[in-house]
Structure 1
Amino acid sequence: MKIPVAEGGPISHVISYRDYLEGRIKRSAVRRNELTREKLKAATVRLLESGGYHEIPISTFCEEAGLAKGTFYLHFADKEDLVAQVLEEYTALQVKIMPSADGSKDAYAALIVLNSWFAETFCENVGLHRSMMQLSEAIPRITKIWTDFLKGLSARYIEEVQRWSNTTLDPEFATFVTYCLWGMLDQALYAIYAVKRNPDFERLARNQAYLVQSITLFQHRALFLENPEATFDKSVEGFLMLRGRK
């Protein structure tokens, strides 16, 4: 689906990977061999939305896909191979369709475009993000998928930081800064929508729009040492008043 992420800004392509795969399954042009693979991948996405990777046996993936268990091994070595391939394809697609912030009137508007897209994408595919973040701690192949995903996303952030900065940043420094700022949103989304470990934080974050607007404001202040020239909801006006002691 297509969702406007900022007034006057570009249209962001936010894709539910489950819907994307199920759409591919319905295409008459898909060959039988490919159809089996797509059914197993779609089943994987559905199952990861509601359950943990370790609790799902191969037989359940096959049952969810409507396939015999023996069919599984014609396409994947094991469930780690299946989940890794799903995550590889998912992350490659998201990096490819990440919106451009071209046309934004300032740095804040550009960051809103990127942050809004990522928040919507995360929530549409929360099971995949939760699995990727958790499994990256234990499975080297998925660690690499997660790392490559972060590199792909941060490249666009670095581009925007450089675009709006009056100083040319060292590439490694720009990457470090971007990872730090990116982590604000990524970890907040993970805590609220993926693991739900902190109901008090979820209450304070209010809703997705408030979360994105607040974190984008924090990012802008951290990067440019000033408030953006934008109209804000009263709910975040308190952040604009923060000043250091002299």
Structure 2
Amino acid sequence: MSASTVAEAAGRGSFVYRDQLAARLAAVAREPKTVRTRLRLMAAIATLLEEGGFHDLRVADCAARAELAHGTFYRYWPDRSAAAQDVLGDFMATVRSRRPVGAAGTGLYPRIVAANRYYVRVYRANAGLMRCLMQLGNVEPAFARIGQEANVALASRVVRAWERADPAALDLPDHEKTARALACIAMVEGVLRDLYVRPALPPLAAMDEDEVADMLSASWFRILFGHDPPGSPAPGR
């Protein structure tokens, strides 16, 4: 299934978050020192989170990686938890801001495919940070709520797109539509977690990113519409 009808405008598409922070730091060379110092610390924190996870994060290591004095860290955050939440919140915002945009008139299924291909690539490229999102959500209820709210907001967008594509969906109860959309989101998260955060399981381990995204997209379509997506091979082929 081709997703060529969904464009990646300038500033959109897959990314490595640490590289994004490095580019932002280079772009603010003439900004006040406080702005540059904060970005240096964020880049250091992101690297440590990617490498070792939230549970191994230490303030001293953050300062050392950024080549700053230990006390400089506390000018920006009271503790490692607040710093990690700030960095991961910015990471989540970057994920949202770089999603591909569908051209006018693009069908729902090509948009689902493009969105999943984007997310699979981002997830794999930033697997350590994705692991940290789970870790921090387990120990910080406020951060867990942020993730839940983000999923509910995404589910609402999915439902609206589904209703536009299939007027029959308007007859379904709202709670059922929301539950189906949340099931799609949870399925993607679970598969990618087992593929890229935990040891990959065969035969999924042999699949490339686009194959994984296409499989997930077809499953999305079946959950929402109750039948195979357009262009699927006939049974037995």
**Band the TM-score falls in, shorter-chain normalisation:** 0.7 to 0.9
1:147-226 paired onto structure 2 within 5 Å: 147-167=148-168, 168=170, 169-196=172-199, 198-200=200-202, 202-203=204-205, 206-226=207-227
1:95–1:152 contact (8 Å) kept in structure 2: no
Amino acid in structure 2 at the alignment position of 1:17: Y
1:9–1:104 contact (8 Å) kept in structure 2: no
Amino acid in structure 1 at the alignment position of 2:235: M
For residues 224 and 111 of structure 1, do their structure 2 counterparts lie closer, same or farther at Cα, with a shift above 3 Å needed?
same
- The residue aligned with 1:8 is 5
- In 1, Cα distance between the equivalents of 2:197 and 2:31? 33
Is residue 125 from structure 1 mapped to residue 126 from structure 2 by the alignment? yes
Is residue 241 from structure 1 mapped to residue 235 from structure 2 by the alignment? yes
Q: Which runs of 4+ in 1 moved over 4 A?
A: none
Q: Give the TM-score taking structure 2 as reference length.
A: 0.86
1:16–1:121 contact (8 Å) kept in structure 2: yes
CA RMSD of aligned residues (A): 2.2
- The residue aligned with 1:107 is 108
Larger relative contact order (CA 8 Å, sep ≥ 6): 2
1:91–1:149 contact (8 Å) kept in structure 2: no
- In 2, Cα distance between the equivalents of 1:39 and 1:147? 29
Amino acid in structure 2 at the alignment position of 1:241: P
Is residue 136 from structure 1 mapped to residue 130 from structure 2 by the alignment? no
The structural deviation recorded for 1:104 is: 5.7
The structural deviation recorded for 1:63 is: 1.0
- The residue aligned with 1:49 is 50
- In 2, Cα distance between the equivalents of 1:100 and 1:135? 30
- The residue aligned with 1:21 is 21
Q: Write out per-residue CA displacement over residues 60-106 of structure 1, whole angstroms, 9 at most, x where no aligned residue.
A: 11111111111111111000010001112222232233333344643
- In 2, Cα distance between the equivalents of 1:153 and 1:90? 16
1:66-105 paired onto structure 2 within 5 Å: 66-103=67-104, 105=106
Amino acid in structure 2 at the alignment position of 1:173: E
- In 2, Cα distance between the equivalents of 1:74 and 1:150? 32
1:87–1:145 contact (8 Å) kept in structure 2: no
- In 1, Cα distance between the equivalents of 2:46 and 2:115? 24
2:41–2:66 contact (8 Å) kept in structure 1: yes
Could you list the runs of 5+ residues in structure 2 that have no partner in the other structure? none
For residues 175 and 131 of structure 1, do their structure 2 counterparts lie closer, same or farther at Cα, with a shift above 3 Å needed?
same
Amino acid in structure 2 at the alignment position of 1:166: P
